[in-house]
């Protein structure tokens, strides 16, 4: 009767600064997909041969990237990261991960649990660079999570560099203004100090340089157009009224959206649950006027797949892949499973009757 599009926001937003095209500069979507074993990201091969890394962003994605790069290989071996990712992390020369935040520490949008985790990493120092903002005292936020963040950051503000093998630096009131490097790859990030006046972040013109062979921007995402549907390029969403797709103000019969392709890349799982309820409500309101659905049988569906040269993955196939990942975890030792990342390898595992 209808199609609900839930394609999300998969495109990384750009910083829009000179040097962003240099090798070693990545969006967080691509970088996170690489270490999470997404089959589209197996060829990324990030450059981890320099001691310094810069991560730009004030959200949980930025913290997650910093945590992965700062954790020791022995810790990462207990996770489900694919073997090619673990091999790269074992060779990593990264020692200093710089998280760059354009606003002050009282404005960060980290969830307290994510922020707390970077302070619990083994053999990692957390250092706060905030131009003395925390030491001078800031007004206590009303939001409970921001208050918890501020308490942790204030405690860490007194940290001095210790003997830990790796360090996570939290730089507040800083914005990258350009990436510099020779031979086509990133070597330095030039930051501008900011100040907040009347709620606006303004550059002061004062600059500093951070050495980095890898830069990851975690500043948000945008959706991709869906063939046949209207698209709002400015906001990266499909125009809609509560989830009902609209073209020039008129509903597109049988077409609905939910999640980030509906409202943009904001919110968490709970937000998406409420969002989905709204979309389904619109669909149910329209149900009587939607085209009558036809229900082909299973054989007809598979015949249609075959016409396009598509061999579907069945539930039994997926169980084979699941068993193979659990087996790989046993082989590695200490991991519940290890992800099979390459698409060909995934399909080979799915088709293997010998796995289970």
- The string of DSSP codes covering 59-95 is SHHHHHHHHHHHS-HHHHTTS---HHHHHHHHT----
Mean pLDDT of all residues in the chain? 93
Dig out the tokens for 279 from the structure: 């979309």
Lowest mean pLDDT of 14-18, 94-98, 182-186, 311-315, name the range: 311-315
Phi and psi, residue 199, nearest 5°: 80, 0
Q: pLDDT band for 267, please (50, 70, 90 cuts).
A: confident
Q: What's the pLDDT tens digit per position in 218-253?
A: 998 999 999 999 999 999 999 999 999 999 999 999
User: Does the pLDDT of residue 95 top 80, yes or no?
Assistant: yes
Which pLDDT tens digit goes with each residue over 273-298?
999 999 999 999 999 998 887 777 88
Where does the chain show beta strands of DSSP type E? Answer: 3-5, 11-12, 25-27, 52-56, 96-100, 124-129, 166-171, 174-180, 188-197, 200-211, 214-217, 221-222, 240-241, 244-247, 250-257
Taking the C-alpha atoms of residue 254 and residue 266, their distance in angstroms, rounded to an integer, is 25
Parallel/antiparallel/unpaired status of strands 124-129 and 96-100: unpaired
CB pairs under 8 A, 24+ apart, for 303-310?
Answer: none
* pLDDT score for 139: 82
Task: Tell whether the model's pLDDT for residue 94 goes beyond 90.
Answer: yes
For 336, residues 6+ apart whose C-beta sits below 8 A from its C-beta are 80, 326, 329
- Tell me what pLDDT residue 241 has: 97
Question: Is the pLDDT reported for residue 332 higher than 80?
Answer: yes
The rounded distance, in Å, linking the Cα atoms of 305 and 299 is 10
Confidence of residue 354 (pLDDT cuts 50, 70, 90): low
- Band (151; pLDDT cuts 50, 70, 90): very high
pTM here is: 0.89
DSSP assignment letter at 354 = T
Nearest to 178 by CA among 215, 126, 228, 150: 215
The pLDDT of residue 353: 65
Query: Given a cut of 70, is residue 53 above it in pLDDT?
Result: yes
The three-state secondary structure class of 305 is helix
pLDDT at position 296: 78
Domains along the sequence of the chain with CATH: 11-221 (3.50.50.60), 223-289 (no CATH), 298-351 (no CATH)
């Amino acid at each position: 009767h209808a199609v609900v599009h839930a394609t999300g926001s998969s495109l990384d937003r750009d910083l829009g600064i000179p040097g962003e095209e240099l090798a070693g500069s990545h969006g967080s979507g691509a970088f996170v997909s690489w270490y999470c074993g997404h089959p589209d990201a197996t060829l990324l091969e990030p450059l981890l041969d320099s001691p310094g890394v810069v991560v730009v962003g004030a959200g949980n994605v930025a913290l997650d990237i910093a945590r992965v790069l700062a954790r020791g290989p022995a810790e990462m071996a207990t996770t489900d990261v694919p073997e090619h990712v673990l091999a790269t992390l074992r060779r990593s020369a990264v020692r200093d991960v710089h998280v760059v935040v354009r606003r002050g520490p009282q404005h960060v949008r980290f969830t307290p649990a994510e922020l707390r985790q970077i302070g619990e990493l083994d053999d990692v120092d957390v250092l706060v660079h905030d131009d003395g903002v925390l030491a001078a005292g800031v007004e206590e936020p009303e939001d409970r999570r921001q208050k918890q963040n501020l308490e942790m950051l204030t405690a860490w503000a007194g940290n001095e560099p210790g003997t830990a093998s790796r360090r996570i630096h939290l730089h507040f009131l800083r914005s990258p203004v350009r990436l510099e490097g020779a031979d086509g790859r990133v070597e330095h990030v030039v930051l501008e100090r900011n100040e907040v006046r009347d709620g606006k972040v303004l550059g002061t013109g004062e600059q500093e340089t951070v050495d980095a062979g890898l830069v990851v921007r975690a500043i948000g995402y945008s959706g991709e157009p869906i063939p046949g549907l209207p698209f709002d390029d400015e906001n990266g969403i499909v125009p809609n009224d509560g989830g009902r797709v609209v073209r020039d103000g008129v509903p597109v019969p049988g077409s609905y959206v939910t999640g980030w392709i509906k409202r943009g890349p904001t919110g968490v799982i709970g937000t998406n649950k409420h969002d989905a309820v709204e979309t389904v409500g619109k669909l149910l309101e329209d149900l009587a006027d939607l085209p009558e659905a036809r229900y082909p049988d299973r054989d007809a569906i598979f015949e249609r797949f075959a016409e396009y040269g598509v061999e579907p993955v069945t539930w039994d196939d997926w169980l084979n892949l699941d068993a193979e990942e659990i087996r790989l975890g046993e082989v590695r030792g200490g991991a519940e499973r290890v992800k099979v990342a390459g698409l060909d390898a995934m399909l080979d595992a799915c088709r293997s009757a010998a796995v289970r």
